[in-house]
A and B are shown apart, each in its own frame.
Chain A
Amino acid sequence: MSTIRVLVGTRKGAFILTSDGKRQNWTVSGPHFGGWEIYHVKGSPVNPDRLYASQTSGWFGQVMQRSEDGGKTWEAVGNEFAYQGPTGTHQWYDGTQHPWEFKRVWHVEPSLSDPETVFAGVEDAGLFKSTDGGKSWLELPGLRGHDTGPLWQPGAGGMCLHTILLDPKNPDRIFVAISAAGAFRSDDGGTTWKPINRGLKSEFLPDPLAEVGHCVHRLALHPSRPETLFMQKHWDVMRSDDAGASWHEVSGDLPSDFGFPIEVNANEPETIYVVPIKSDSEHFPPEGKLRVYRSRTGGNEWEALTKGLPQQDCYVNVLRDAMAVDSLDPCGVYFGTTGGQVYVSANGGDSWEAIVRDLPAVLSVEVQTLRE
């Protein structure tokens, strides 16, 4: 029997939700690091009891935590994130150039092959790597130092590197996404990078087809087909079948193509999930109805998944890192809301139940499928 462990980061601490493979009865552990913002918690695929957590505070800055026992106990590890080489500047809100300043870690991505290696995506946008289990961090400066760096600018949530995808078939290939710079790919383990934004169209830019400046909210891929990428952009749901070299829109018949997370079913590489949000000015579900939309055709044709989700007076948001899937069959789909609910569907999205309803605002959700 499998065990499912859901790692939830919230505005006021981390929570760990555990169930067997039926995904019906849950135990809740937490808050861990109560009162701190936990942007992200993720486990090593190689050693699932090794967890990494990003703990932040406006008062005390950045702390990184590591657990060796699946989140029962934690140890603070290295929290020094120093940009390598020239600090550089990026575009500021008033159009001037502004020096890079480290603020927090948005996302941790443990290596697919080595439990001691983990990547961290930070604000202001940069990618760091640790090869000693988080004790020390070194920037991969080729990304921040890209020629287009001075053109990057913060979105409303800051200039954050929020998505890191490691290619399971090519250990040298990494995808990242930055708000508001766009998506980037490295084919040499993070040394050099190129923007992969061809086909994106952002009407808020002076040149809507610019090489960089797009507000990419999230990328997702299926491990069996890492050349196929799905993107939830500021507006538009996009798809690439050539590892990001070109994109085309697959928003199709969605009620709104604005949103934050996007995920791929673990067993069906063409089945994807998004949560439409009314607009960039109104970050809540259209019509007060919380609906996950599923496409079984890799985009364009979408169906609303509503069973078990509130269909009136619901004005929560679902943030970019707050959706995940397990690897059971049928696939479990999970998401957390800014209203503190964490929902699970144990049947690929057909129906939903709240695991918890009253957590602090959920920033991130990750799922571990632990097989015995």
Chain B
Amino acid sequence: MRTPHNSPRPPAPGPRPSLIRIVLPFHLRNLARVDDEVTVEVAEPISIEAVLNALEENFPMLRGTIRDHGTRKRRAFLRFFAGGNDLSNDAPDTLLPEDVSSGKEPLFIIGAIAGG
């Protein structure tokens, strides 16, 4: 299993990165070969886009599965929840809530429910 927090890197200049927790849907956990939530380092400002960029950098197999390769738009049947709010339709540069950017709570990437 590859997780960024056991891949030490030299400290980057500028603001100290935060550790952001992300909960992936079942199929993306399988694709990324992780059993639980993942943690990625993200430098401020900690926006949805910055977190997704860090996630895809550390787990390249997830590229194209959350955002379209070309347009970078969220895939239609995925949702982003954080701090009890649905951020799915917020602008990509929207800053994540303090509880998420501090690592207290995870960002949830959710697959839309399909019934029937």
A: which residues have CB within 8 A of B? Answer: 33-36, 57-63, 76, 79-80, 82
Contact = CB atoms under 8 A, between A and B. Distances in A.
A62 B68 CA distance: 10
B64 A61 contact: yes
Contacts of B30: 33-34
Contacts of A34: 30
A80 B31 contact: no
A76 B61 contact: yes
A59 B70 contact: no
Give the interface size bracket for B toward A. 20 to 34
Contacts of B78: 59-60
A76 B31 contact: yes
If over half of A's interface residues share one DSSP class (helix, strand or loop), that class is named, otherwise mixed; here it is: loop
Contacts of B65: 57, 60-61, 63, 79
Contacts of B68: 61
B75 A80 contact: no
Contacts of B31: 60, 63, 76
Given A60-B66, A60-B75, A76-B31, 19 more contacts: A33-B30, A36-B27, A57-B27, A58-B77, A58-B114, A59-B27, A59-B75, A60-B31, A60-B111, A61-B68, A61-B75, A62-B64, A63-B31, A63-B65, A76-B61, A79-B69, A80-B63, A80-B69, A82-B69
A36 B28 CA distance: 11
Question: Interface majority SS on B: helix, strand, loop or mixed?
Answer: loop
Interface of B: 25-28, 30-31, 61, 63-66, 68-70, 75, 77-78, 111-112, 114
Contacts of A76: 31, 61
30 contacts: A33-B30, A35-B26, A35-B27, A36-B27, A57-B65, A59-B25, A59-B27, A59-B75, A59-B78, A60-B27, A60-B28, A60-B31, A60-B65, A60-B66, A60-B111, A61-B64, A61-B65, A63-B31, A63-B64, A63-B65, A76-B31, A76-B61, A79-B63, A79-B64, A79-B65, A80-B63, A80-B64, A80-B69, A82-B69, A82-B70
Interface core residue of A34, A35, A62, A63 (most chain B CB under 10 Å): A63
Contacts of A61: 64-65, 68, 75
Contact of A63 (B25, B61, B70): B61
A248 B61 CA distance: 46
Nearest to A62: B64
